Homo-oligomer: A and B are copies of this chain.
Amino acid sequence: MKVRILILPKRGLLDPEGRAVKEMLLEEGFKVKEVKVGKVVELEVEEDTDIRTLAEKYLINPLVEEYVIE
């Protein structure tokens, strides 16, 4: 099965890349209110894979990141 994991900085935490993108887009004339930059991991795995464990143990830093499995 195909699984997509979105990993984003937790709200309120430092997101230097998001801030840089926001500033650049504002300078270019885009009216952006907020920008967050994170990672996406697309996996093809067997049906019985424990995605939550895989994500929490190997892909995420739970102190500063949150994730969504799709």
Question: Is A69 among interface residues, defined by CB-CB distance under 8 A?
Answer: no
Closest beta carbon of chain B to A62's beta carbon, Å: 17
Scan A43-70; emit 1 where CB is below 8 A from any B CB, else 0: 1111001000010001100000000000
Closest beta carbon of chain B to A69's beta carbon, Å: 13
| A38-B42 contact given A24-B58, A25-B54, A58-B24, CB 8 Å threshold | yes
Whether the Cβ atoms of B36 and A42 lie closer than 8 Å is: yes
* Nearest-CB residue, chain B, relative to A28: B58
| A31-B49 contact given A40-B38, A41-B36, A59-B21, CB 8 Å threshold | yes
Closest beta carbon of chain B to A43's beta carbon, Å: 5
